[in-house]
Structure 1
């Protein structure tokens, strides 16, 4: 395997069996701040493409091991939806896959920007954006799928950071480096046995096999604003599970961004798939808590008091109070 980095030379990249006849590489640069994988924008004399390479660890946190085969899950996901007229329009096209180097070459969607700015004060949603999000989830959750990979190793990795690590009393992550006072507030939940028991049960459900194809990491950094509308990317966490998981994660980020309730109601008017509200809320509470007291932090515009209030709300969601 050729182990690439942001500093890999054009000569190294050119030597890979990825390119068209007479195609010469011109330039390369990082394509966004990917958490999981190396992602490069490669420009040639013929086109511009996105090169993704998975490693046996998480790119943003190299100390965290991760299954290198996750790039195959992303490939399977894109191949599965490429014939669906709705989903295909919201996704990048796969150009080539090189299994020996765990590289996926996909369509360059241009200099798009993700939706991480929804956490900023005063963010204004465009109605078409919410409609695109609901249209995508509708189509995805209604897709009939019979042979998608279990993706169990990625689910185990995610499970650790969704249901376990944030709730360890001693995990080596000092939350006061994020916001002074947050560590003390977190201890109320790290020592709550009823909450941790409920999370353990929910985690077992997450690890089980379901009937609905999920994106698996459906949050604002996986939504891309482009000149051709919203696109949805980074599908290496995809799996067959509860539709309520994708919904719960989505709604948690509505909460974390202090979205106006009417926008959420508008989303639900457009989402047609049947779901169990209590289960949505349990996943929602988990996602809120892991984003506030886990390692996967966000650029939030929340005061300490607002985080404390949201943590209590999340606990009640998980306990279905």
Structure 2
């Protein structure tokens, strides 16, 4: 598998035999604001479209950060695992994978919007919450065979740095005051809070360990779903892994908190999900996700002031150290 693909989208489709019969590529344009991969909408001369998604040896949004190119193969394995299941019907149709180009081909869902507007004050409606809870329930209850590829150790190793290590590294050099004046001092207090750091480290060890669990999406935030005229669809499972169900639920609840959704939204999600959850573990995951999104490199388009971010970081500490929400 090459470290990067320099071929144009049209050439990739031709080389791989993915050009639909009798059609030619009219154009290819970036589809959405993806972080990890090169994602293009390919338009053919008859007006039909497909989505070509390619992994390269770096994070697409941050080319100076190396990333395992094997993530394309992991994503293909995820789609193969959910194919024909209820969880699979709420994802785009996967049309092909090629290891040499680290490429996946998908149907184009057409007119769609992701959930990122939640961070600017838009309410995540009950229909969307129910669809997310139902999809998680379906995914987590799949009979997933033991699969080394879905364990996804290389992507977990990359993710662990940015979830657990970098945000709490006193010497990371990340200027938080350039994002929100005064945030650096608030973050520094957490970085030197031994009890908090130790608790985060224990969750990190569980994240990086191998053990029984369920198939997880691994990065379920508002950028990972699309709302279309045909309903809500989940995308981008390249951070998937086999682990505790509390991971996906806790991460999603963190983003309900970060986007200012009402408490009733969290309650609805958990009730609809309708599976037993380890409250303490879910809280820790939620708190760590809030922390890393506020003081780590994976920033969100938040409009929060220092007081609001400080309150969320205080809540994150409480969640990590407490046993209940």
- Listed as ranges, the matches of 1:270-289 within 5 Å are 270-289=272-291
- Aligned to 2:97, the other structure's residue is in SS state strand
- 1:238 aligns to what? 240
2:166 aligns to what?
165
Q: Does 1:36 align with 2:36?
A: yes
Shift in Å, 1:22: 2.5
Contact residue 28 and residue 40 of structure 1 kept, 8 A: yes
Where 1:194 maps in the other structure, the secondary structure is: helix
- In 2 relative to 1, CA 2–213 (structure 1 residues): closer, same or farther, beyond 3 Å? closer
Q: Which digits, 9 at most, give the CA deviation of each residue in 1:129-172, with x for residues without a partner?
A: 11101110110111111133220000000000111000011112
Answer yes or no: is the 8 Å Cα contact 1:97–1:103 preserved in 2.
yes
Aligned residue number for residue 304 of structure 2: 302
How far apart, in 2, do the equivalents of 1:28 and 1:59 lie? 17
Q: Which residue of 2 aligns with 1:198?
A: 199
| TM-score normalised according to structure 2 size | 0.93
Alignment partners' CA distance in 2, 1:233 and 1:184: 36
Residue 157 of structure 2 corresponds to residue 156 of structure 1 = yes
Change in 2 beyond 3 A, CA 1:200/1:16: same
Residue 248 of structure 1: aligned partner: 250
Question: In the alignment, what sits opposite 2:24?
Answer: 24
Between the two proteins, the alignment pairs up a number of residues equal to: 317
1:146 aligns with 2:148: no
Q: Alignment partner of 2:62: what SS?
A: coil
Alignment check: 8 A CA contact 1:142 1:273 kept: no
- 8 A Cα contact 1:14 1:24, kept in partner: no
Are the counterparts in 2 of residues 94 and 104 from structure 1 also a CA contact under 8 Å? Answer: yes
2:230 pairs with 1:228: yes
Change (3 A) 1:172 1:260: same
> Unaligned 5+ residue runs, structure 2?
none
Residues 159 and 23 from structure 1, CA distance in 2 versus in 1: closer, same or farther, beyond 3 angstroms?
Answer: same
Query: Is residue 123–residue 261 contact of structure 2 (8 Å, CA) maintained in 1?
Result: no
Q: CA deviation at 1:9?
A: 4.8
